[in-house]
Amino acid sequence: MGVRGVIFDVDGTLVRGDEPIGGAEAGLSAVDAVGLRRLLVSNNPTKPPEAYERRLHRAGVAVDPSDVLTAGSVTARYLSEHHSQDRIAVVGESGLVDLLRSAGLSVDPLGGDSFDLPTPDVLVASVDRAFSYQTLQRCLRVLDDRTVTFLGTDPDVVIPAADGDAPGSGAIIDAIANVAGRDPAVVLGKPGETARRMALDRLGLPPEDVLVVGDRLDTDIALGERAGMTTALVLTGVTGAADLDASPIEPDYVLDSLAGLESVLDDLPTS
């Protein structure tokens, strides 16, 4: 059938902060010109799709919230499917807490000055710019109960930001896992199975008809590689040429920016 849809990463691929990355407009235009479906998939767990619509609008990118999938959305769906009646403690920012509560889940933040929640059934760890020693100590005590399920929103250890790279969810998850002596049962977001399933469901396409474009080998390219999608790495985010040489993950295409996407589409059958 050929390529009929494209999954785009956001940060480091389309934008950095609120500024468009060079070549992004040309890449999006190339996809639209051949009539391909597109879906933006971000490992940012702190913002709902509506926030991405506003943010991308400021960068000159028009997108509908229905065409955006975030790690927060994926986490909310996973918890709704598997832990809808459970007490959930969250290490994360207010945006994630609000998103999970809006899904009807019983959620309490684990950070802050006080925490008197009974022992939760689930602990969800995510990026938290207010993460503290006190929060880490609470996580240690909560996860000492081996019946508590430990989950992570996404594996990104470093994330591209407007003023330079910054620690992401993976850094928080790894810190908690290290002191607790146990790994999360599931880390959601890209390249996990739940994110992959939700993305393909949203596009309504089989994996062989999808092109994945992103700046990270271990999330974006791994997402596509594991599912049998075509993959294109852009060198505008956290991955450099040295990282590419050292990684066992091999993208089908490597681009300096999204400006090179037109040539990829010319090389692929589209329908």
Q: What is the pLDDT of residues 90-109, one digit of tens each?
A: 999 999 999 999 999 999 99
* Least confident segment among 48-52, 193-197, 228-232: 48-52
Cβ pair 155, 216 in contact under 8 A: no
Give the pLDDT of residue 113. Answer: 62
Per DSSP, what are the bridge partners of residue 22? none
Tokens of 244: 């590419």
If pLDDT is split at 50, 70 and 90, which confidence band does 1 have?
low
Residue of 137, 143, 144 lying closest to 124 (CA atoms): 143
User: Of 41 and 241, which is predicted with more confidence?
Assistant: 41
| Predicted confidence (pLDDT) at residue 61 exceeds the cutoff of 60 | yes
pLDDT band at 161, cuts 50/70/90? Answer: confident
Provide the pLDDT for residue 2.
82
Q: Give the count of alpha carbons within 13 A of 26, CB side only.
A: 13
What is the bridge-based pairing of β-strands 15-16 and 19-20? antiparallel
The strand pair at 186-187 and 122-125 is best described as unpaired
Query: Which is nearest to 24 in space by CA: 221, 195, 237?
Result: 237
Position 114 scores a pLDDT of: 55
Q: At residue 166, does pLDDT exceed 90?
A: no
